[in-house]
Amino acid sequence: MAKAENAPTVGLFVTCLVDLFRPSVGLAAVRLLEMAGCRVAVPAAQTCCGQPAYNSGDRDDARAIARLVIAAFEPYDYVVAPSGSCAGMLKVHYPRLFADDAAWSGRATAFAAKVHEIVSFLVDVRGVEGVAAAFEGTVTYHDSCSSLRELDIRDQPRALLKTVRGLRLTEMDDTEACCGFGGTFCVKYPDLSNAIVEKKTAAIAASGAGTVLAGDLGCLLNIAGKLRRQGIAVSARHVVEVLAGTTAAPAIGEPAADPAERSQAG
């Protein structure tokens, strides 16, 4: 795609889960950003946003990781992540981590101002009003807690989903409720996490949707894992896959339809 010389540069913060589990989400994100007229770069010096350390009370490691991320993304006009949780960490919590650090406080604040979750970036910053994708079926959208409450993202993904040809959007009950993932919470308190995700999958099943979408892979791995274990026939995908029209890959936790597709991906 041809881009003007003055196109804004976006550093894609891939997020560790997309990098490791579902790189196709990263490709979909790049595609959407390029369609929105951005030049996309993926700094190699990134691993994770540091939430596992930060939320475990390990501020030193959280700061060390944050310094790497800030330094790696300083050259770009924007920092965009396909996750509300990681974007929230970068945008809301990095400045708090360095509040008492004279050397880094200013850098963290300037960095935070450039950070966006991808769907809200497309709508609020790039003024995208619709996408050229098609998806046949009824979907329901799961609001991740960080997107909803830290970044105020609720309408943006729904607005874009409504422009996808063939897609019908239906809301589940209690959309503001957590799915029970919570990062390390789900393995530290598996019984509690399970009780919470069971309510979420019940709400998803009752919505009548064939696919559940969300903007956070953490929630999606949790929800898809529970749906598969319960044998509920609802697929789970990251919202950018549908918005970018790249839904050829199997849904999360589902096998490849034919082995040829697999060898292509791997």
Partner 1 sequence: MDVGSPAFKSNARRALDDRHLQEALGHARSGFVDKRAAAIEALPEFEALRAAARDIKNHTLAHLDLYLEAYEEKVTETGGQVHYAETASQARDLIRDICLRVGAQTVTKGKSMIAEEIGLNEHLAESGVEAVETDLGEYIIQLRHEPPSHIIAPAVHVTKDQIEAEFRRAHTNLSPERDLTEPTALLGEARAILRRQFQTAEVGITGANFLIAETGTSVIVTNEGNGDLTQMLPRVHIVLATIEKITPTLEDVSQILRLLARSATGQDMACYTTFSTGPRRPGDPDGPEEYHVVILDNGRSAMVGSEFQDMLRCIRCGACMNHCPVYQAIGGHAYGWVYSGPMGAVLTPALIGIDQAGHLPNASSFCGRCEAVCPMKIPLPRMMRHWREREFERHLSPTTYRWGLRLWAFFAKRPRLYQFVTRIAMRALGNLGARKGRFRRLPLAGGWTGHRDMPAPEGQTFQEMWAQRKGTP
Scanning residues 11 to 30, which ones bind partner 1 (CB under 8 A)? Answer: 14, 16, 18-24, 26-27
Residue 92 CB, shortest distance to partner 1, in Å, is 10
Of 35 and 42, nearer to partner 1 (C-beta) is 42
- Does the footprint of partner 1 cover residue 100 (CB under 8 A)? no
Residue 25 CB, shortest distance to partner 1, in Å, is 8
Residue 189 CB, shortest distance to partner 1, in Å, is 5
Kindly tell me which residue out of 3, 162, 165, 188 binds partner 1, with binding defined by CB under 8 A.
188
- Does the footprint of partner 1 cover residue 42 (CB under 8 A)? yes
Sign of the torsion angle spanned by Cα atoms 169, 175, 181, 186: negative
- Does the footprint of partner 1 cover residue 254 (CB under 8 A)? yes
- Rounded to an integer, what distance in angstroms lies between the CA atom of residue 195 and that of residue 192? 5
Residue 78 CB, shortest distance to partner 1, in Å, is 18
Positions 114 through 153 that interact with partner 1 (CB under 8 A): 145-146, 149-150
Site string for partner 1, 101-120 (x = CB under 8 A): --------------------
- Does the footprint of partner 1 cover residue 253 (CB under 8 A)? yes
Kindly tell me which residue out of 57, 102, 103, 260 binds partner 1, with binding defined by CB under 8 A.
57
Would you list the DSSP string of the chain?
----TTPPEEEE---HHHHHH-HHHHHHHHHHHHHTT-EEE--SS----SHHHHTTT-HHHHHHHHHHHHHHHTTSSEEEES-HHHHHIIIIIHHHHTTT-HHHHHHHHHHHHTEEEHHHIIIIIT-------EEEEEEEEEPPHIIIIIS--SHHHHHHHTTSEEEEE-PPS-TTS--S-TTTHHHHSHHHHHHHHHHHHHHHHHHT-SEEEES-HHHHHHHHHHHHHHT---EEEEHHHHHHT---SPPTT---SSHHHHHHH-
Of 103 and 187, nearer to partner 1 (C-beta) is 187
Residue 68 CB, shortest distance to partner 1, in Å, is 7
- Does the footprint of partner 1 cover residue 222 (CB under 8 A)? yes
Kindly tell me which residue out of 3, 59, 162, 165 binds partner 1, with binding defined by CB under 8 A.
59
Of 72 and 125, nearer to partner 1 (C-beta) is 72
Residue 156 CB, shortest distance to partner 1, in Å, is 18
Residue 120 CB, shortest distance to partner 1, in Å, is 17
How far lies 202's CA from each of 138, 199, 227, 254, in Å? 16, 5, 9, 19
